[in-house]
Amino acid sequence: MTIKPIALFAIIFTINQSSGQVKEVTEENYDKLPERSKQYTAGTTMARMVDGLAFRYYWATEGLGNKEYEYRAGEDLRSIQELMRHIYDLSEVIIATARKEVVDRSGKPALAISPPEMRSITLERLREASDLLAGIDNFSDYPLRFQGKNSYSEFSFLHLINGPVSDAIWHTGQIVMLRRAAGNPIPPGVNVFLGTYSN
């Protein structure tokens, strides 16, 4: 019996996918923390930080409506939608660094996208970044790089931790607080310590 090339490819692809150390994470299943390698490396530790951010962000923004998106604690303070936009921008820096790309800060107009679109793209960026980071052993060759209209700047990878990742966690907490004040708190079954949800 001979196996056709396409069938052989499918078998090999399936074996490779099932034998990998990192389970693929998608936006849809960030309702719980993904299982990753039990090996503690710089990469898996960094990936866990990003997954922790994505899990919190998933639940902070799950089930919001226009009333919550527009809610702000004061006239001069950011609304939930504006916080989501800021986290969206931070996620761009996170994924660009994981891809070894330069972040464009030349002042191009921001894309006009809805909060649900921002949420989806942010979670997808975090998923991809986490998958990439999990496989890196040495971050010394992964600087944060910014290209402005007339300037270029570069920072060590450590700035990704105390900068965009920590900042995004900070603002995700603000969304949690604001949505509670708006009358739509996150579900009580979300356990940020265990990374689980039970309804």
Per-residue pLDDT of the chain (199 residues; tens, 9 = 90+): 455 545 444 433 333 333 333 344 445 579 999 988 788 999 999 999 999 999 999 999 999 999 999 999 999 999 999 999 999 999 999 999 999 999 999 887 778 899 999 999 999 999 999 999 999 999 999 999 999 999 999 999 999 999 999 999 999 999 999 999 999 999 999 999 999 999 8
Q: Can you tell me which residue has the tokens 């996170």? A: 94
Position 39 scores a pLDDT of 87
Quick: pLDDT tens for 52-94: 999 999 999 999 999 999 999 999 999 999 999 999 999 999 9
pTM: 0.84
Domain boundaries, the chain: 45-197
H helix or E strand, kind and range, residue 70: none
Task: Please give the CATH topology (third level) of the domain spanning 45-197.
Answer: Four Helix Bundle (Hemerythrin (Met), subunit A) (1.20.120)
φ, ψ of residue 145 to 5 degrees: the values are: -125, 130
What are the Cα distances from residue 82, in Å, to 65, 118, 171, 175?
14, 11, 10, 10
Position 28 scores a pLDDT of 55
Position 27 scores a pLDDT of 52
> Exposed, middle or buried: residue 43 (CB in 10 Å: 0-12, 13-18, 19+)?
buried
CB 135 within 8 Å of CB 22: yes
Position 128 scores a pLDDT of 96
Position 35 scores a pLDDT of 87
